[in-house]
Amino acid sequence: MLDNSAPVRPVAYDMLIDGRWVGAASGRRMDSLDPFAGAAWASVPDAGSEDVGTAVAAARKAFDLGPWGRSTARERAALLRRLAELIARDADRLAAIESRDNGKLVREMTAQWRYMPEWFFYFAGAAERIEGSTLQSDRPNFTAFTRKEPVGVVAAITPWNSPGLLLAWKLAPALAAGCTFVVKPSEHTPVSAIEIGRLVEEAGFPAGVYNVITGGPEAGRALVADPRVDKIAFTGSTDVGKAIAKSAADNLTGVLLELGGKSPNIVFDDCDPAAAANGIISGIFAASGQTCMAGSRLVIQRSIMEDVVGRVIARAQTIKLGDPSLPETEMGPVATPQQHAKVTGMIRAAVAEGARVACGGADGGPGGLFVPPTILVDVTPQMTIAREEVFGPVLSVIPFDTEEEAIAIANDTEFGLAAGIWSLNLQRAHRVANKVRAGTVWLNAYRVVAYNAPFGGFKQSGSGRENGVGAVDEYLETKTIWIELSGATRDPFTIG
């Protein structure tokens, strides 16, 4: 018989460096917490700068000397397709693991992992279509063409909210381009990057092409400061993104930054109110609000506010909080004790600034790491709760009267990741979409992403784009090659 009172030993994982499974050079390890159980469920090495150096050296060697650096697009595409098939085979198992690591619903993680192979299939195709161009030279007696070459060693740093998917967004185009890769996942959710390492091995990628370092900010800082890294791909908070950009500037390393948001859901009185209410719920309470694209500001026309906000409150009050592994659960806990303290602290601060709790609240949860769906009314655009990212299930309701006012409130933010617009008036919906400064705008929808749709932020929500064919260019350099045609001696003191 199983003894349920016996302490459960966390599952021990190692890091993948240069095709070998290793611990940290220091021997240090750290635990990963199951936020629902409130206990450690996995243990991973706690890497320091020495381990980071070893991993970057391995990626450098695999790129400069290994077979990967000389691989053809066809070979890379075949391996990417194989990896896609392996992720599809293991999607449900990996989704269950991810849910344990970050507390998000198994049903959401399952949908993510089942969709994830498409990134690898799509970028396999993109690998086969990388091409330079022949230039119609403006210089007599010259012809010129461009080649696209992999940028080199990519350092990826990912957050805890959708660790596997956000890794796939970087890994698939980087491998398609022919780069080698070192990933440092969040210290809160290190396991999926390791599990992908097992599949990368099984698919047959050469040693050193994909390396995983597990550790916290110290390992992250060492990774982005390493001059042997050619490109940094980061998803996380805006503050850390700025620190990374400053560090990268010392080596002029290229950076792709996917950062935070304070996205508006803009609701006009000519919307379908039931659809809008459903979209607002999805935007802020799915994933317990722990998504970069959370629609955390409800910017709503005063004439329809009572109706739509009433519908949102009614639905929010029926949301089932509970065990993320159960299919009927609609919201799990937030991912970490620190996150719980931050979210509840921001709700209390908002109330102190004059907001009113219409639903939920800092103390309204069932205990543990749960924060109930919280709706704050009487919020003004100047309040902290309307300006700073909460990264939790907290909706701020801000009314407007005119279209111009709605656009001004929507754009009154340092962020620019996403926006939803709810109006059945085609002209208005398009007009407002063109004026909102955000990387993604959904009309009469919210929270839709796909492998072929560019995703990224305006303003302090980041720089560069993931997904879409252009994502491969983030990992490519363009080289121009000139060919002299005449054989004549040229004036050495003029250009061209």
CB of 337 to ligand NAD, least distance (A): 13
**Nearest approach, Cβ of 125 to ligand NAD (angstroms)?**
23
The 10 Å Cβ neighbour count of residue 445 is: 15
What tokens appear for 134 in the block? 């022949």
Which one is catalytic: 258, 330, 389, 474?
258
118 or 149, CB closer to ligand NAD? 118
Q: Which two tokens stand for residue 429?
A: 């919906």
**41 part of the interface to ligand NAD, by CB under 6 A:** no
**478 has which bridge partners?**
148
Least distance in Å: CB of 417 to ligand NAD?
6
Distance CA 440, CA 447 (A): 10
CA 45 to chain centre: 23
Q: How far apart are CA 483 and CA 481, in angstroms?
A: 7
* Nearer residue to ligand NAD within complex by CB, 331 or 358: 331
Provide, rounded to whole angstroms, the least separation between the CB of residue 8 and ligand NAD.
25
Asked whether position 258 contacts ligand NAD by CB under 6 A, the answer is yes
Residues 348-377 touching ligand NAD, rule: CB under 6 A, are: none
Site for ligand NAD in 381-400 (CB under 6 A): 389, 391
286 is a site residue for ligand NAD (CB under 6 A) = no
**Nearest of 204, 258, 145, 190 to residue 43 by alpha carbon:** 190
* Residue in 243, 201, 195, 262 with CA at minimum distance from that of residue 461: 262
Exactly one of 56, 95, 105, 157 binds ligand NAD (CB under 6 A); that residue is 157
- Interface residue with ligand NAD among 40, 78, 243, 349 (CB under 6 A) is 243
Q: Which stretch binds ligand NAD (CB under 6 A): 145-153, 174-182, 194-202, 257-265?
A: 257-265
Residues in the chain: 496
Scanning 16-24, 232-240, 277-285, 467-475 for contacts with ligand NAD by CB under 6 A, the matching segment is 232-240
Catalytic-residue membership of 202: no
Neighbouring residues of 74: CB distance < 8 A, sequence distance ≥ 6: 128
Residue pair 14/182 in contact by the 8 Å Cβ criterion: no
Residue 38 CB, nearest approach to ligand NAD (Å):
19
By CB under 6 A, the residues from 179 to 198 that bind ligand NAD are 184, 186-187
359 catalytic? Reply is no
Q: Token pair for residue 406?
A: 């709605």
**Residue in 237, 251, 278, 380 binding ligand NAD, rule: CB under 6 A:** 237
Among 173, 261, 283, 324, binds ligand NAD (CB under 6 A): 261
Q: Give SS3 for 301.
A: strand
Residues in Cβ contact with 352 at an 8 Å cutoff, skipping those fewer than 6 apart: none
Q: How far is the CB of 71 from ligand NAD (least distance, A)?
A: 29
Determine if 49 is a binding residue for ligand NAD (CB under 6 A): no
Residue 151, token pair as written in the block: 């940028």
Which residue type sits at 446? Answer: Y
Containing 60, the helix (H) or strand (E) segment is helix 49-64
DSSP state letter for 226: -
Task: Find out whether 197 and 16 touch, Cβ atoms under 8 Å.
Answer: yes
Handedness of CA 101, 105, 109, 110 (dihedral sign): positive
Q: Which part of the chain contacts ligand NAD (CB under 6 A), choosing from 33-41, 82-90, 156-164, 443-451? A: 156-164
Quickly tell me which residue has 């210089």 as its tokens. 139
In a 13 Å sphere around the CA of 152, the CA atoms on its Cβ side amount to 16
Cα–Cα distance for residue pair 396/381, rounded to 1 Å = 9
Binding mask 408-447 for ligand NAD (x = CB under 6 A): ---------x------------------------------
In the sheet that holds 29-34, the strands lie side by side as 11-12, 39-45, 29-34
The DSSP element (H or E) to which 363 belongs, if any, is none
**CB of 292 or CB of 309, closer to ligand NAD:** 292
Residue 395: beta bridge partners?
A: 375
Number of residues in contact with ligand NAD under rule CB under 6 A: 30
What residues contact 19, with CB distance under 8 A and at least 6 apart? 58, 201, 206, 207, 208
Residue among 35, 152, 178, 236 that touches ligand NAD (CB under 6 A): 236
> Does residue 216 interact with ligand NAD by CB under 6 A?
yes
292/410 with CB nearer ligand NAD: 292
Q: Which is nearer to ligand NAD, 264 or 399 (CB)?
A: 264
For ligand NAD, the closer of residues 66 and 108 by Cβ is: 108
| Binding residue for ligand NAD, selected from 54, 110, 112, 161, defined by CB under 6 A | 161
Using CB under 6 A as the criterion, which residues of the chain lie in contact with ligand NAD when the complex forms?
A: 157-161, 166, 184, 186-187, 216-217, 220-221, 224, 235-237, 240, 243-244, 258-261, 292, 389, 391, 417, 457, 462
Active site residues: 258, 292
